[in-house]
Structure 1
């Protein structure tokens, strides 16, 4: 099924990647930007913990995508220790754009120029449906935790 014509170009890439992975959740265009988990949860009427934040970090010379529950903050020191990495630090806006092709506040778990090493917060498994950004700050889509793990090829971990 082709993407609706009303979707932004970045969201079309995400839509196509979702369909290629067999994920059927539709991308929703929100009237206002939902560039934070709190804003997204309010717009969707869901718990903030059901928002799958896409956070891009830089670690050991490469981007690292962490899909975390909107109710959590990533403890980069503890996560680096768990993963056996020397350091994890926030990527710059330019690094985020280069790694994902998307802007901060709208980074989807897919639709990137190349696959990213991804960590998936184990706490997202508590929610039967989670919502992730659809490639722009105005777009989101639903999926299950299992779909997120499969879509990203992510490693499940405690991130806080």
Structure 2
């Protein structure tokens, strides 16, 4: 039902046909990147946290970003505590592996992390463990009903433009 609620959500922008459904799993950042054929950083992962009230808050961040607890606490005024899988389903209507800020069961606050701003387009899940949609940053902001862009992550972009083991370094 979750996948269908997301497709229905996209109907208001006539984008439901752009939701991709895969034969293989896209439940993790690495699986999604491999399935789509892109860098893991371009996967827009949705993380669910306990809010200051009874409803959860959702943070959408680049696939290579990690929550910075100090930045989170400074911005929100409380400690970052992720929801348990059953709480995620209860709050969002989506199971782990398909969590996204679209077609939500409850009206939840959504925040987008600046770690995604370096890309023209990103790929969030669409309510199932084998779906995604390609969106611009502006579309993601609009379609998710995001409150604002935030800077609460760390460690993103660390491996970009750095030579790997099999790459030569120019001297």
Q: If the length of structure 2 is used for normalisation, what is the TM-score?
A: 0.81
Aligned: 1:153 with 2:126: no
Answer yes or no: is the 8 Å Cα contact 2:25–2:35 preserved in 1: no
Q: 1:60 touches 1:87 (CA, 8 Å); kept in 2?
A: no
Q: Distance in 2 between matches of 1:45 and 1:151?
A: 24
Q: 1:23 to 1:81 in 2, by over 3 A?
A: farther
In 2, the alpha carbon distance for the partners of 1:103 and 1:76 equals 24
- Say whether the 8 Å CA contact 2:10–2:16 is kept in structure 1: yes
Residue 33 of structure 1 and its aligned partner are, at CA, apart by 1.4
Aligned to 1:6: none
Encode CA deviations 1:42-75: one digit per residue, 9 max, x unaligned.
1111111111001111132330100010010112
C-alpha deviation, 1:22, in angstroms = 5.0
Partner Cα separation in structure 2 for residue 52 and residue 90 of structure 1? 17
Cα distance in 2, alignment partners of residues 86 and 108 from structure 1: 23
Q: Distance in 2 between matches of 1:39 and 1:23?
A: 24
Question: 2:110 aligns to what?
Answer: 118
SS of structure 2 residue aligned to 1:68: strand
**TM-score, normalising length: structure 1:** 0.87
Show CA shifts across 1:133-159 (max 9, x none). Answer: 110111111111111111222210112
Q: Does 1:82 align with 2:65?
A: no
**Count of paired positions:** 151
Compute the RMSD of aligned alpha carbons: 1.6
Equivalent position SS for 1:95: helix
- The separation in 2 between residues aligned to 1:59 and 1:12, in whole angstroms, is 26
**2:56 paired residue number:** 63
Runs ≥4 in structure 1, deviation > 2 angstroms? 21-25
Q: Determine if contact 2:26/2:35 at 8 Å carries over to the other structure.
A: yes
- When residues 63 and 80 of structure 1 are mapped into structure 2, their CA distance, relative to the original with a 3 A threshold, is same
2:58 alignment partner, SS class: strand
CA distance in 2, matches of 1:70, 1:44: 13
